[in-house]
């Protein structure tokens, strides 16, 4: 979306908390006041690990999804008359595309280029830029879906002017191959139509799998081998979930912590519970009280209270 300073605040007031808005509003090299933005659903924005922009004309964000699948998302706005700024923006974009390729990132490039592909009259040298996009293995979603995209998907409509296709969405090979559909729709907010592309991205969908953990009761903790078995299952699920779904920016501080504090505490509590159950069974079997029973009661009482489990405050198992 193209912005000015005055529209940023209104945009933030319009959208609810389920959206995250990134903006780049500043003076361009010619001191024109302008801006661009990217808007994400919150569940996608949680995976952003880097974003920036240039001159209020380019904004980009990098996201990482499951299996370290990373996407470089770029939005660009170019005004028609400024050839010098246009060349600077083309150069900056080429750098961003090359950087994404070096980092093995997929690319989604959205733009108001103010030009149509394959124009015979080409005073802005935009055809060369379109060829550069092809050399970077970036494909126009409209051209993938339709042979006549220039006439089928006009995005600019103004009285006295012929409709033209000057807004574009480009994707790198893998995402372009997963295109489902593309369309344009009018809006009361602008003389530009909304260009809408639908892509399939399996890495964005959390896969549902059956859990190896079934209902766990106290009977599962009667021996240490059972505790270790269930603990290994729980730990594996937690680590797998962290690797696949926790945003990088939220997990980086624990990247070197092989045994996170909460997991160590949980395992220690399970071992204490197992020892307490073992001592309790021995007391009931031998009809002889052991002082260790009180020691483990003190140790596991805090977690028992959190789980709303009541213990006998005084006495021993023989008095129950």
- What is the average pLDDT across 239-254? 58
pLDDT band at 234 (very low <50, low <70, confident <90, very high): confident
Does 231 lie in the same domain as 285? yes
Q: Are 97 and 63 in contact (CB under 8 A)?
A: no
Mean confidence (pLDDT) of the chain: 73
Does 304 lie in the same domain as 190? no
Does 235 lie in the same domain as 190? no
Does 260 lie in the same domain as 185? no
Would you state the structure tokens that stand for residue 197, as one six-digit string? 């592309």
Distance, CA of 36 to CA of 24 (rounded, Å): 6
Give the pLDDT confidence score for residue 274 in this predicted structure: 75
Does residue 209 form part of some domain? no
Does 301 lie in the same domain as 186? no
Q: pLDDT: is 210 or 41 the higher one?
A: 41
Does 272 lie in the same domain as 143? no
Look at residue 14 and tell me whether its pLDDT is greater than 60. Answer: yes
- Statement: the pTM of the whole predicted model exceeds 0.85: no
Name the domain count of the chain. 2
State the burial class of residue 170 (Cβ atoms within 10 Å of its Cβ: 0-12, 13-18, 19+).
Answer: buried
pLDDT band at 61 (very low <50, low <70, confident <90, very high): very high
- What is the average pLDDT across 269-276? 74
35: Cβ contacts below 8 Å, ≥ 6 apart: 2, 3, 4, 5, 7, 8, 23, 24, 25, 26, 56
Look at residue 34 and tell me whether its pLDDT is greater than 60. Answer: yes
**Residues of the domain holding 106:** 2-203
Domain's final residue, options 153, 174, 203 = 203
pLDDT band at 209 (very low <50, low <70, confident <90, very high): low
Q: Domain containing 129 — which CATH number?
A: 3.60.10.10
- What is the average pLDDT across 19-30? 76
């Amino acid at each position: 979306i193209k912005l000015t300073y005055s529209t940023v605040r209104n945009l933030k007031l319009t959208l609810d908390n389920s959206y995250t808005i990134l903006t780049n509003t500043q003076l361009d090299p010619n001191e024109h006041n302008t801006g661009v933005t990217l808007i994400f659903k919150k569940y996608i924005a949680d995976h952003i690990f880097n974003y920036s922009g240039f001159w209020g004309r380019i904004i980009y964000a990098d996201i990482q999804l499951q299996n370290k699948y990373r996407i470089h998302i770029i939005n660009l706005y170019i005004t028609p008359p400024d050839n010098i700024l246009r060349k600077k923006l083309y150069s900056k974009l080429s750098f961003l595309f090359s950087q994404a390729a070096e980092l093995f990132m997929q690319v989604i490039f959205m733009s108001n280029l103010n030009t149509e592909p394959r124009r015979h009259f080409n005073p802005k040298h935009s055809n060369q830029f379109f060829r550069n996009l092809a050399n970077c293995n970036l494909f126009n979603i409209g051209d993938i879906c339709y042979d006549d995209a220039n006439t089928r998907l006009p995005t600019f409509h103004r009285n006295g002017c012929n409709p033209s296709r000057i807004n574009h969405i480009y994707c790198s090979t893998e995402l372009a191959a997963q295109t489902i559909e593309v369309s344009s729709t009018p809006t009361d907010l602008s003389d530009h139509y909304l260009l809408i592309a639908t892509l399939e991205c399996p890495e964005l969908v959390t896969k549902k799998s059956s859990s190896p953990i079934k209902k766990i009761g106290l009977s599962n903790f009667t021996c240490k081998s059972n505790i270790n078995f269930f603990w290994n299952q729980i730990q594996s699920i937690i680590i797998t979930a962290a690797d696949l779904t926790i945003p990088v920016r939220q997990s980086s501080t624990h990247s070197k912590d092989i045994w996170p504090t909460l997991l160590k505490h949980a395992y220690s509590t399970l071992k204490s519970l197992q020892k307490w159950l073992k001592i309790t069974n021995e007391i009931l079997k031998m009809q002889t009280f052991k002082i260790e029973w009180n020691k483990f009661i003190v140790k596991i009482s805090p977690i028992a209270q959190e789980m709303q489990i009541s213990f006998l405050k005084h006495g021993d198992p023989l008095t129950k």
